[in-house]
Every structure is written in C-alpha cells, then in structure tokens.
A and B are shown apart, each in its own frame.
Chain A
C-alpha cells in the first residue's frame, strides 16, 4: 500500500527558503504526477504544482517564479523549494499522488498527513 510522508522544518523565517520533502513508500514513484497542495489555517485548498517522474513540472502561475519541485527517483522522494517566503505562505502543506492518464488524470488519490509550516521571525 502506497503511503506518502512529508518532512521538513515547521518554522521558516521571512525571506528565507521553505524546503519540504515527500517520501513515497510501498510503491514506485514512476507513472504518476507527484503533487504539492497547501491550505492556510481556516482556508481552502490551493494546488501548488506537480512533477512527473521524468522530471517534467507544472506550477501554479502565481508562484511559478518562487518555487521549484524536484524528484529523486533513487530515493523515491520529491521535494518542494519555495524561495523568499512571507507570512502569507504559512499553511499546512500536503503532498499527494495524482493519476496521470485518461479521464482520471489529476485525481489525487493518495495524500500525506500534511506538515504545518509557519513563516515567522
């Protein structure tokens, strides 16, 4: 059974870089879109972007200049790096697996538990 687990610092200073890693266990990182989603406290879900195992990426336009998603297939991990963070980036960050073919393309069927990141000095 595939499981996802986010890891990374829970506190980041303003203007610094937020770095999170998602470890995929119980299955291969190939074939699917590996996705990051965030949720500010008390608010809705925001899709951040995804990476395919080949390295192809797709990001939300509003964050495109600020983020990088990378994959390490040898470790079955993918990562999110978000530069120059502000308090507005405080949120629960989730990694998730998305289907990559057919009409189920984009359906997020497996999620990590999430990791809370606070941006504060």
Chain B
C-alpha cells in the first residue's frame, strides 16, 4: 500500500525563523510533488510544483527540494503572513494523495 507521511503535524516558530517541513513516500514518485498553503476559511494555494519549481507570484523565501521518496519545503525566514497549514501532494500514482498537513503556529 502506498503511504505518504508529512511531518511534523504542527510546529511553533517565530518570525524570522527558518522552517522545514518533510514529506516522505513509501515508493518513488520521481518529482511529482507539490506543496500548498492553506489559511483558515480559504482554499489552498499552490506554492511549489515538480518538487522544486516555485509557482509564479510566490515569495522566494519558499523553496522545495527532493526527489524519489524524500521531499522538503523550506521557508527561509518566516513572515507573519506564513502562519498557515501546509500540505504536500503527490501526482505520480494514479490515485493522487495529500499529506496530513503541517500547521505552522506563532511561538
């Protein structure tokens, strides 16, 4: 059974901190991995696609890396607008799946 594990489920950080979120899959998905940001009451917003390509209009403090089974979303310097929940999503398998989400909260 294909598994997708996102960690941590939540984290507390301060403005200016470097934040990393991990997404791991049980089998290789090449680079068919996207990252989304969701704020309360809003639809998710695409941040990164193809594991490391920044969506147009997304601030450069966001970056994605990885291939195969291990992926990372990094926020280089956390800003007040970045407090939200983040999801990874794979589209390599025929049945697309999202990670469980990571809630980034203010410390």
Interface string of B9-44 (1 = CB under 8 A from A): 000000000000000000000111010101000011
A39 to B30, CA, bound (A): 27
B95-A108 in contact (CB<8A): no
* Residues A94 and B96 in contact in the complex (CB < 8 Å), given A107-B91, A108-B36: no
| Chain A residues positioned under 8 Å from B55 (CB to CB) | 107, 109
Segment 60-107 of B: residues with Cβ below 8 Å from A: 87, 89-92, 94-101
Task: Check if A47 sits within 8 Å of B94, measured CB to CB.
Answer: no
Whether A60 touches B95, Cβ cut-off 8 Å, given contacts A94-B43, A99-B49, A109-B55, is: yes
Given contacts A44-B101, A58-B94, contact A108 B46 (CB under 8 A): yes
Size category, B interface: 20 to 34
The secondary structure that dominates the B interface is loop
Identify which of B31, B51, B90, B91 contacts A98 (C-beta below 8 A): B91
> With contacts A47-B89, A94-B43, A112-B43 known, is A104 near B53, CB below 8 A?
yes
Contact A47 B44 (CB under 8 A): no
A106 in complex: contacting residue of B32, B36, B38, B99, CB < 8 Å: B32
B43 and A47 within 8 A (CB): no
Tell which of A106, A112, A113 touches B96, judged by Cβ atoms closer than 8 Å.
A106
A residues 91-121 with Cβ under 8 Å of B? 94, 96, 98-99, 102-109, 111-114
Q: Please measure, in the bound complex, the distance between the C-alpha atom of A47 and the C-alpha atom of B92, giving whole angstroms.
A: 13
Residue with the highest number of chain B CB atoms closer than 10 Å, among A102, A103, A112:
A103
Contact across chains for B95 and A61 when beta carbons are under 8 A apart: yes
Contact across chains for A107 and B96 when beta carbons are under 8 A apart: no
Give 5 CB contacts A-B under 8 Å. Answer: A46-B98, A50-B96, A107-B46, A109-B49, A109-B55
For the complex of A and B, the 7 pairs showing the least CB-CB separation, nearest first, are: A106-B91, A107-B49, A103-B50, A111-B43, A45-B98, A47-B96, A107-B34
